[in-house]
Copies of this chain bind each other. A is one copy, B any other.
């Protein structure tokens, strides 16, 4: 197998014309698309509808090319969107494709290439959100996505993007009517628990942590429990845990690689550099134009430090009544990473509980060798 990754910009959240044009030009085969990760220009919160608008527009467009109903496409193609292009960030989406090898294209012995796998778990009942049941469900889906990608060892996995269902008012009412008890009935809080359970599930699947470390009581409490390769989002629009696994494998061909590194805090430019260096890119201080052209996607997960300080000094993100804390931190990390790379088409997502160090996060780069 051979992975291809392309990045497209959009004029607004309903604009999928750039991908359509690439399909029309024969540069992209619609049937080869397996996953999408993107940033739309909403606020990233509960009332951000740019994600739904983009997804509806994308699935409608692909439906036209593939002759498969939009609803069916939505149920088999993970489309993970983060709302909020604060600061310099540019709305864009990264399309992951897979194709059979072109005959002799397998990489020479000892060489690795980008591997992409996806999986959907069974639908998750509301009472499982933020509980061991969700941890196991995510872990199993991660392992299914690894099998889908032909990745045999956790050490081959660099980055796992998961989109988890959360509790909505309707699902809560339904669960309570069945006599089930919920970890929380607050939708916003359930999103945080779902992200925690997702991170725990990735840590379990990758062997970063054992099941005994991953007690429910550690969720949103003990932030030393973490995965260094998990990027989790949660939303009302999904019913299953949806997983995209990126790894490097000797079984895959093509020119692409993926590299991931943690960031210790929101100022950790060294962590950014280490992720790039894992892909053979050396910023000084910015990535050169030649290297920049090799980059196909950059994915950042970050979090406003909940202790209220960065590098010892007070920050004001958590106390701002007018701008949401996640909007603040996305803008800051977007500024830092875009500056290092010299490109503002960066996926930056907040809500990094248990995903990399507390107050920090992680960064993955997909690039040509």
Contact = CB atoms under 8 A, between A and B. Distances in A.
Interface stretch (A38-46, A72-80, A177-185): A38-46
Contacts of A269: 285-286, 339-340
A30 to B, nearest CB: 20
Nearest to A313: B90
- State the majority secondary structure of interface residues on A: loop
A308 B12 CA distance: 13
Interface in A65-120: 85-92
Contact of A332 (B266, B273, B285, B332): B332
A248 interface: no
Contacts of A42: 49
Contact of A49 (B53, B266, B314, B315): B53
A27 interface: no
Tell me how many chains of this kind the complex includes: 4
Interface stretch (A126-134, A225-233, A253-261, A316-324): A316-324
Interface stretch (A151-159, A198-206, A342-350): A342-350
A22 interface: no
A283 B316 CA distance: 26
Contact of A88 (B47, B90, B283, B315): B315
B342 A311 contact: yes
A316 B9 CA distance: 12
A56 interface: yes
Contacts of A331: 86-87, 328, 331-332, 335
A327 interface: yes
Interface string A1-40: 0000000010111100000000000000000000000000
A133 to B, nearest CB: 27
A173 interface: no
A313 B49 contact: no
Contact of A321 (B46, B92, B283, B332): B46
A11 B314 contact: yes
Contact of A335 (B47, B85, B332, B345): B332
Most chain B beta-carbon neighbours within 10 Å: one of A57, A316, A333, A334: A316
Contacts of A244: none
A52 interface: yes
Contacts of A49: 12-14, 41-42, 49-50, 53
Interface string A296-311: 0000000000001011
Contacts of A268: 339
Contacts of A87: 87, 266, 315, 317, 328-329, 331-332, 335
B314 A9 contact: yes
Residue among A88, A328, A331, A343 facing the most chain B CB atoms (10 A cut-off): A88
Given A90-B316, A315-B344, A331-B332, 14 more contacts: A14-B56, A49-B50, A87-B266, A87-B315, A87-B328, A88-B310, A88-B315, A88-B329, A89-B315, A90-B313, A310-B338, A311-B338, A332-B338, A334-B335
10 residue pairs, one from A and one from B, having the closest CB atoms: A45-B321, A87-B332, A332-B335, A335-B335, A331-B331, A90-B313, A53-B53, A322-B322, A336-B339, A269-B339
